[in-house]
Amino acid sequence: MKKGQTVRRVAVIGAGMMGHGIGQMFAQAGVDVALFDSEEKVLRRAVPRIKKSLDVFTKRGLIKKKEVKGILSRITLSRSLDEAVRNADFVVEAIVEDLAKKQHLFQILDGLCPPTTILASNTSAIMIKDLSAKAVHKERIIGTHFWSPAQLVPLVEVVRGDHTLPEVMETTVRLMKRIGKEPARVNQDVPGFVGNRLQHALWREAISIVELGIAEAEDVDRVVKMGFGLRLPTVGPLETADLAGLDMVLSIHDYLFPFLDASRQASPILRNRVQSGKLGAKAGEGFYPWTTPSLKKVIQQRDEFLLDWQKRMKLSRKKR
């Protein structure tokens, strides 16, 4: 692995929900991208999805209309994995969150790519040591957890595996900054990394509150969205703790923690919903009833907020 390695060409393996957005971000930053997917229909839909996203970016003033052609010209579609990774300096895996399939893919990639190629996984929770278990060159494997939608959410968790070389970490962090992302260094390879440990801890308590009848789902979400959630984009939880005063935080923790959910297993109410087919928006019911219009409305509201946030960040960077 070369110190200070420059990444000129990237391969994204998996062109679906996450992969097409990841590919878009690299192409926007001037990097040549090879998009691969084993399913032809998924690969065929990738460029139209990217075009639609770029159209929104153009209308919001995040990119110029004249830039779109160049961005799209840097994206190549491939049905051959060997062809996609042949000249890649950096490979991002964005396939289904299945350990066995990821292990198999990294074993193949490890054999196809020279040792100087960095192999990254977009896994949201699986430990890097587990998904790289069958690879020989574990030192060049790293986690890059993009958040959905990848082209809108700034964060990427850069996760160091037990064998990951320091220069692989540094090259990856630089690359994420280069494509306009906010990399967070995760220095220990733990399940869920940082983001999902925090997110699922919140979900555990939220579901427990509903299960105990303390509040309905709508009011739990209202408390987050209209309360402390409004502060989170600008003031993180530990900054908020400092602002409040750690003596007060300690006092509240001593009193409150015995009453919080500390279950080591998933909630029965969650398990019962899954077993009865109430899987959420994709099934028409979860904690809420869902229709096509209500789903579109929520996604539109989310994306509108994220686009506004992107524009504010862009303006802020220009003022620096």
pLDDT tens digit sequence for 49-75: 999 999 999 999 999 999 999 999 999
Is 112 found in the same domain as 255? no
Do 175 and 206 fall into the same domain? no
Count CB-CB contacts under 10 A for residue 98: 13
160, amino acid identity: R
- Residue 148 pLDDT > 80, yes or no? yes
Instruction: Let me know if residue 214 belongs to a domain.
Output: yes
- By DSSP bridging, strand 155-159 and strand 141-146 are antiparallel
> Does residue 298 lie in a domain region?
no
State whether 149 and 249 are in the same domain.
no
210 and 154 both lie in a single domain = no
> Could you tell me if 152 and 262 lie in one domain?
no
Distance CA 238, CA 233 (A): 13
Q: Is residue 309, in this structure, part of any structural domain at all? A: no
Tell me: the pLDDT tens digits for 91-130? Answer: 999 999 999 999 999 999 999 999 999 999 999 999 999 9
- pLDDT more than 70, % of the chain: 98
Q: Is residue 89 part of a domain?
A: yes
The answer on 202 and 177 residing in a single domain is: no
Same-domain pairing of 67 and 128: yes
In a 10 Å sphere around its CB, with 0-12 CB exposed, 13-18 middle and 19+ buried, how is residue 203 labelled?
A: middle
3-state secondary structure of 118: strand
- Interhelix angle for 19-28 vs 40-59, to 10°? 50
Q: What's the pLDDT tens digit per position in 28-54?
A: 999 999 999 999 999 999 999 999 999
154 plus 202 within the same structural domain? no
Nearest to 269 by CA among 212, 224, 226: 212
Counting every residue written for the chain, the total comes to 320
- The H or E element spanning position 101 is helix 99-112
Out of 87-96, 163-172, 194-203, 309-318, least confident range: 309-318
- Say whether both 151 and 257 belong to one domain: no
Domain count of the chain? 2
CATH of the domain at 230: 1.10.1040.10
Q: Six-digit token pair at 252?
A: 């509240």
In a domain, 2, yes or no: no
Domain coverage including residue 219: 195-267
Catalytic positions, written as ranges: 124, 145, 157, 196
Judgement on whether residues 207 and 149 belong to the same structural domain of the protein = no
Residues 30 and 161 placed together within one structural domain of the fold: yes
pLDDT digits (tens, 9 = 90+) for 250-291: 999 999 999 999 999 999 999 999 999 999 999 999 999 999
Within-domain flag for 276: no
**Average of per-residue pLDDT values in the chain:** 95
Claim to verify: residue 158 and residue 211 sit in the same structural domain: no
Please say which residue of 186, 213, 243 terminates a domain.
186
Residue 104's alpha-carbon distances to 99, 101, 109, 168, 229, in angstroms, are: 9, 5, 9, 22, 39
